Structure 1
């Protein structure tokens, strides 16, 4: 059987938590400010995955309005105690500076694809929580411990405290059980019990190019924990030429036949300034338990682009065109930003996607933006929009989007005299934020005030080009605007300092009416077409 190429979950799918129940595997990943919260994928062979559910889909579970970019849902942990599924997650309300307003919650469900409970608040002492079910039935809550006073060492270790399911509260003492290694920034804890040992898997080195998975163990749950003799069981920090970079934040799973695999986040940088346009993706490595009782990654610690899995991947499915209509509602590939009240920003009545113009494209509160992940380095996307703006404060169209600081946006808008026009908006930022620019690029193109407009974008590696045509005239697509640097929509350009941007590129549609009159834009369909290009060295 041929090996499978990483990542197994391409595009923005970071912080994987993996679980096997019987013959079924589940991976939960972070969604940050994108709604609904948490992606849970399902597989029976570790190679082929299908999005099963996003469990945090009610206002009572999650409301992220006002959460800054790259805040929201961090590092979910999915577990099963033999009777029900458990999911713990953080909703981060602030991350820049010394303070972290990071609130941790627990929800549960009898069926993973069913309705999940309302959340129970646990604590806010740090982020990246997990829930450990010990063999005696007791449960323990584990999270990274944050100390806002101790710059630069704000990451103060891994905290452990018992969780009482009856009272739905933490009980007993809290103990800092592991301070991490000299690499620093210890986070992402997961606990396991095996052969009389408790194993603690953590992430270290931040989410950039020094990221790593670190393993420690103890005979006693409460420690002390000794660090793995190699320190880091997975990292690419000393191997800049490795195909998979930024490797860390992992979780372990055993197959029914006794093999062990480590899932982990990773990034595939493009050659220009090592930018990860597809964000932090989920990859997998085979590992083994040695005679010394320690886990080692096969051919590690450097992550492999290719891995032997129980099955081959369906490559044809990976490359197929996705053509989305809206007669059956919004396809599960799409998400929106922050709000638990999607009826205020879109509907699919009449088989078209109607966006209700709200705030600007960069708002942290309520914007009408519906998009899907970019999962290939090169692609085409297109849509047809029916929109009648009255002035320059109403605009709608097609966007390649990362966050408020980084997007390209081809809009149907209007001049102050009411004449409809096409206009490209773009925003580009890098740290420090003094470098932020948000401006209109190029000259507007005047178009008739009535009629649908076809909008398209092509991305070929580092190059992004917009196109348009006027539907009623049967025109072929023609270029509008210059060739842009497609790598701008990446973690490395997300408008934050190092280790501060965590999501990935999306492509979709948006509408704004900053007059406050809720002008509607109607989209007939959306197409996402993967493309192969010679610059995409990790896909060809």
Structure 2
């Protein structure tokens, strides 16, 4: 036996859907506005996970989608040689409505080629495709009813048969209307010992997040609720190693053990800067046939025992891109896939050339190239060559949660001082331009950011040592559905793509 530490997928990796095919394990997570979307991780032992592939590389257009929308809760499944993936593209969540579209993709291999997304329905979100032992397939999703007076308008889980040649057929059945925890979503259906077991997320994705289990002899119900519901929840439990635990999905190992992947947070001073992460918990079926956490409680374990002979060494997170040939797959674009059209590696060999796009608050052409923050303490650094000639031209290093929350160290132009270094912040939609306005020499500049828990500090260097700017609280880079990202970006609000910034490298390293 070896001991591993949760989370298994640190940083922004929410809504895990876990799957075993033979001796291979896969987890799909939500990507929201970040592309390429639907990140897939792979493992052969449940302990060591690596980025395997991304779905929706060039198959969907997210430009214009509202904040905290886009790709929600993908679910992956496998049946008779074919991989399936269903997901939601949420366009808008302004109450009372939720504009969303559910899609299905298939592939002969987890790495593709994946079919173009096929539209299914728009009645709700968090779809899952269940392959019944009798050969039929069923689509489940949360049902949204705009007529409800509560802010969350989920009225349970609806199910409809799916046929490969015809699509959705037959009646829609509301198989589960939820418990008093409410906000019922994220359905996952399993067949075990003569019962259909339905796992759902309830209580919202915040502190009340929970895993609810119910069961029925018939797939259409009625479903009996676990008498000890919720099966997992950290709500009100300060002794829990993690908070916001929920959105579970199950996998059985070749040895017959059961594990549940679920999302959780690690708040710093109450703020989940890393976003919602993925952890793993051993579970079992009790003598009455109900699913239970292995530790006998309803809160998860930080450490997990796995039946492995080889020790798994957890190394410090390090990411380096010297922009030699192609962009490394760790990179993400905001509603845009990183593409040669704006991320160029050929025009100046050894450099990344970012063509300047729209502002950091744009929902269309935000030329931001970023990676997930995976650690509570880290430093990130780059060397940038940029020659702006107008105050509306900017490029630099940014901490970015979403369009309403970012902290940006950038080079721009000032009419009296020439090329300068400045700092801006958007906190919950309130914009601040700091007084910092440092004249720069006409040469490349190194930019760095160091984060330690709730504090972030930007630095810069040209000829001399690192010059430090005042530390800033970064607690505001939390909330919503995603986590903080660290990125390189360029903007030209005078002439779209009228300027560009060249970056010689980017380095990220865990520090504690």
1:328 aligns with 2:325: yes
How far apart, in 2, do the equivalents of 1:488 and 1:309 lie?
37
1:439 aligns with 2:439: no
Q: CA deviation at 1:341?
A: 7.2
**TM-score w.r.t. length of structure 2:** 0.97
Pick the aligned partner of 2:86 from 67, 85, 88: 88
How far apart, in 1, do the equivalents of 2:456 and 2:177 lie?
44
Unmatched segments (≥5 aa) in structure 2: none
1:469 aligns with 2:461: yes
How far apart, in 2, do the equivalents of 1:355 and 1:195 lie?
56
Q: CA deviation at 1:3?
A: 2.0
> Would you say the 8 A contact 2:331–2:338 is kept in 1?
no
> Would you say the 8 A contact 1:104–1:122 is kept in 2?
yes
Q: CA deviation at 1:125?
A: 0.2
When residues 221 and 117 of structure 1 are mapped into structure 2, their CA distance, relative to the original with a 3 A threshold, is same
Q: Note the 1:120-139 alignment, pairs <5 A.
A: 120-139=118-137
How far apart, in 1, do the equivalents of 2:134 and 2:485 lie?
45
Q: Deviations over 1:315-364 (max 9, x none)?
A: 443x0432211113111111011125733321222232111101001111
Q: Note the 1:40-119 alignment, pairs <5 A.
A: 40-58=40-58, 61-119=59-117
Pick the aligned partner of 2:446 from 426, 450, 454: 454
Q: CA deviation at 1:451?
A: 1.0
How far apart, in 2, do the equivalents of 1:315 and 1:364 lie?
40
Pick the aligned partner of 1:337 from 331, 334, 339: 334
Q: Deviations over 1:216-265 (max 9, x none)?
A: 00000000001111111110003033220000001000000000001000
> Would you say the 8 A contact 2:75–2:127 is kept in 1?
yes
Unmatched segments (≥5 aa) in structure 1: 430-435, 492-500, 533-540
> Would you say the 8 A contact 2:455–2:473 is kept in 1?
yes
Q: CA deviation at 1:313?
A: 6.9
Q: Note the 1:80-479 alignment, pairs <5 A.
A: 80-152=78-150, 154-167=153-166, 169-270=167-268, 272=269, 274-299=270-295, 300-311=297-308, 314-317=312-315, 319-340=316-337, 342-349=339-346, 350-417=349-416, 419-429=418-428, 436-448=429-441, 450-470=442-462, 473=463, 475-479=464-468
Q: CA deviation at 1:69?
A: 1.7
How far apart, in 2, do the equivalents of 1:373 and 1:342 lie?
19
How far apart, in 1, do the equivalents of 2:97 and 2:314 lie?
46
Aligned length: 506
Pick the aligned partner of 1:520 from 469, 490, 500: 500
Structure 1 residue ranges, 4+ long, deviating more than 4 angstroms after superposition: none
Q: CA deviation at 1:138?
A: 1.0
More helix by share: 1
When residues 512 and 314 of structure 1 are mapped into structure 2, their CA distance, relative to the original with a 3 A threshold, is farther
**TM-score w.r.t. length of structure 1:** 0.92
Q: Deviations over 1:110-165 (max 9, x none)?
A: 01012210010000000000000011221100000000111215111000000111
CA RMSD across the alignment: 1.3
